């Protein structure tokens, strides 16, 4: 590995609506544990172990910042390295923010490399992934813009394709592998089945992975050549970086002037320096429940079971149970996903249309596309257990050492009952220590806060009562996480 610094840039945006009801706007698929012991974001970071690279830069939406921070903290990778996008503007601007930030951090003399990865991909063969990256580095050092093309395993109609051209030689080919990279002849959109079959048979096409490797300076140079409007808006946005805890905040107004454009359209399809390096590493973008079934370990009847599942005379199904027993009898080729507030049952051959269900839920003014019943916060989480006219019941979990903001509510009172752990409660000018089976009442308009001073999680039941019970009835006076 060269001494040139290599920065992994992890794009962690997107909503993943095709994996509803597990994936939601406020907790999309890249933050879920779908196929292993880590979340998809954490698996992306873990497969970098063994490569000589810097701490990752993660780009995410403002609303996901605390989820990302917690998942990085769990892996010891949190170093003020999360760039917040004020709004989604696709991959070309997101990568530009990272390139500008890395350039500022290193200075022009360093001219580091950027390995751009998506947070929601599955790669089974880490060694093959790392070899492809290592093989591509000399080309990126010489100024090429590398994209990684996945060696296809079938006539897939759900992916874009890259047609390869002639083999590309290095200017300084010392110890370089033979024919590891090819010129990009053409990018192709998602094909129909017959076209995909022709691509496969030709042997000249790869799936478009959306992974890239290049010098930060070369990406910015090509972006400014072809889309100066994007480059200029992003440069203005990072001109006044506002550090905030573990986050890098850019200028909102400047970034919102940025057009919505992918890196393929903005740069890769136009540059003369695009090359493709093949990668055969068991890759999947997990874009649907059927693709998750394909990559998961199956029983002798082809079933994938996650959670509390019992099946009889059933085969080739994907069944996920989050919080209750799910049973199947005599069914085949189904996807069944149970969460605390929704159930999906779909034919495995029609799972691409799950997004249409999400659209119907949204147009009906419901919330099941937006948020889970269980909601994560920087201090822990809460689960909405019950609700009715003028009351709500929640189970609140506060992590050891964490504290909710000092706050008050205009329209509701709260009653807290501790069921596990120890609570330190501020109520007006007084402080109380509560343990299991002890409770406290917070009247409407009373200033209060909740803290876990112990070594184990604090669990309590909160009963809200009043005329208005939503989360936006809150006035914060002091907050450890910079919220207002």
Predicted local distance difference test score (pLDDT) of residue 456: 97
CATH class of the domain whose range is 6-284: alpha beta
| Distance (Å, whole) CA 297 – CA 154 | 19
| Distance (Å, whole) CA 9 – CA 58 | 6
| Distance (Å, whole) CA 214 – CA 217 | 8
| Distance (Å, whole) CA 103 – CA 323 | 46
User: What CATH superfamily classification does 374-478 receive?
Assistant: Jelly Rolls (2.60.120.10)
For the chain, the first-to-last Cα distance in angstroms comes to: 45
| Distance (Å, whole) CA 208 – CA 211 | 8
Q: 3-class DSSP state for residue 477?
A: strand
Predicted local distance difference test score (pLDDT) of residue 345: 98
Pick from 5, 7, 3, 25: nearest CA to 16 = 25
Helices 228-237 & 91-106 angle (0-180, nearest 10): 50
How many residues are there in the chain?
484
Q: Tens of pLDDT along the chain (484 residues)?
A: 456 899 999 999 887 789 999 999 999 999 999 877 899 999 999 999 999 999 999 999 988 999 999 999 999 999 989 999 988 899 999 999 999 998 776 655 678 999 999 999 999 999 999 999 999 999 999 999 999 999 999 998 889 999 999 999 888 765 555 668 999 999 999 999 999 999 999 999 999 999 999 999 999 999 999 999 999 999 999 987 777 778 999 999 999 999 999 999 999 999 999 999 999 999 999 989 999 999 999 999 999 999 999 999 999 999 999 999 999 999 999 999 999 999 999 999 999 999 999 999 999 999 999 988 888 888 999 999 999 999 999 999 999 999 999 999 999 999 999 999 999 999 999 999 999 999 999 999 999 999 999 999 999 999 999 999 998 999 999 988 877 6
Task: Name beta bridge partners: 459.
Answer: 397, 420
Predicted local distance difference test score (pLDDT) of residue 174: 59
Domain chopping of the chain, boundaries: 6-284, 289-364, 374-478
| Distance (Å, whole) CA 118 – CA 251 | 24
Predicted local distance difference test score (pLDDT) of residue 171: 81
């Amino acid at each position: 590995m060269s001494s040139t610094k290599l920065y992994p840039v992890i794009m962690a945006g997107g909503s993943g609506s095709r994996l509803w009801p597990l994936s939601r706007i406020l907790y999309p698929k890249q933050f879920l544990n779908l196929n292993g012991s880590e979340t998809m974001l954490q698996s992306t970071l873990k497969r970098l172990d063994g490569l000589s690279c810097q701490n990752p830069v993660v780009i995410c939406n403002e609303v996901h910042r605390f989820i990302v921070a917690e998942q990085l903290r769990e892996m010891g990778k949190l170093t003020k390295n999360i760039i917040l996008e004020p709004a989604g503007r696709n991959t070309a601007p997101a990568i530009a923010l990272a390139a500008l930030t890395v350039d500022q951090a290193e200075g022009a003399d360093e001219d580091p490399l950027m390995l751009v990865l998506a947070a929601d991909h599955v790669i089974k063969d880490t060694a093959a992934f790392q070899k492809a990256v290592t093989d591509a580095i000399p080309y990126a050092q010489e100024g090429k813009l590398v994209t990684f093309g996945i060696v296809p395993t079938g006539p897939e109609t759900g992916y874009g394709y890259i047609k390869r051209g002639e083999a590309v030689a290095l200017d300084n080919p010392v110890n370089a592998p033979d024919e590891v990279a090819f010129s990009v002849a053409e990018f192709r959109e998602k094909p129909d089945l017959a076209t995909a079959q022709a691509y496969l048979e030709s042997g000249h096409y790869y799936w478009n992975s959306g992974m890239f490797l290049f010098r930060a300076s070369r990406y910015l140079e090509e972006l400014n050549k072809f889309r100066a409007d994007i480059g200029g808006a992003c440069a203005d946005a990072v001109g006044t970086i506002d550090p905030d805890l573990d986050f890098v905040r850019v200028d909102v107004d400047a970034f919102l002037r940025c057009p919505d454009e992918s890196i393929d359209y903005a740069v890769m399809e136009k540059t003369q320096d695009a090359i493709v390096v093949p990668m055969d590493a068991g890759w999947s973008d997990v874009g649907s429940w059927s693709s998750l079934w394909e990559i998961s370990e199956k029983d002798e009847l082809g079933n994938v079971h996650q959670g509390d599942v019992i099946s009889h005379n059933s085969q080739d199904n994907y069944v996920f149970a989050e919080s209750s027993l799910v049973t199947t009898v005599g069914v085949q080729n189904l996807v069944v996903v149970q969460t605390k507030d929704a159930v999906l049952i779909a034919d495995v051959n029609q799972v691409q249309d799950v997004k249409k269900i999400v659209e119907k839920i949204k147009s009906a003014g419901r919330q099941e596309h937006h948020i889970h019943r269980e909601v994560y916060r920087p201090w822990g989480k809460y689960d909405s257990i019950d609700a009715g006219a003028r009351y709500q019941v929640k189970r609140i979990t506060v992590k050891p050492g964490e504290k909710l903001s000092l706050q008050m509510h205009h329209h509701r009172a709260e009653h807290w009952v501790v069921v596990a752990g120890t609570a330190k409660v501020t109520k007006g000018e007084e402080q109380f220590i509560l343990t299991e089976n002890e409770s406290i009442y917070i009247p409407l308009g009373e200033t209060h806060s909740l803290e876990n001073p112990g070594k184990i999680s604090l669990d309590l039941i909160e009963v809200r009562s009043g005329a208005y019970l939503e989360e936006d009835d809150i006035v914060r006076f002091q907050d450890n996480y910079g919220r207002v």
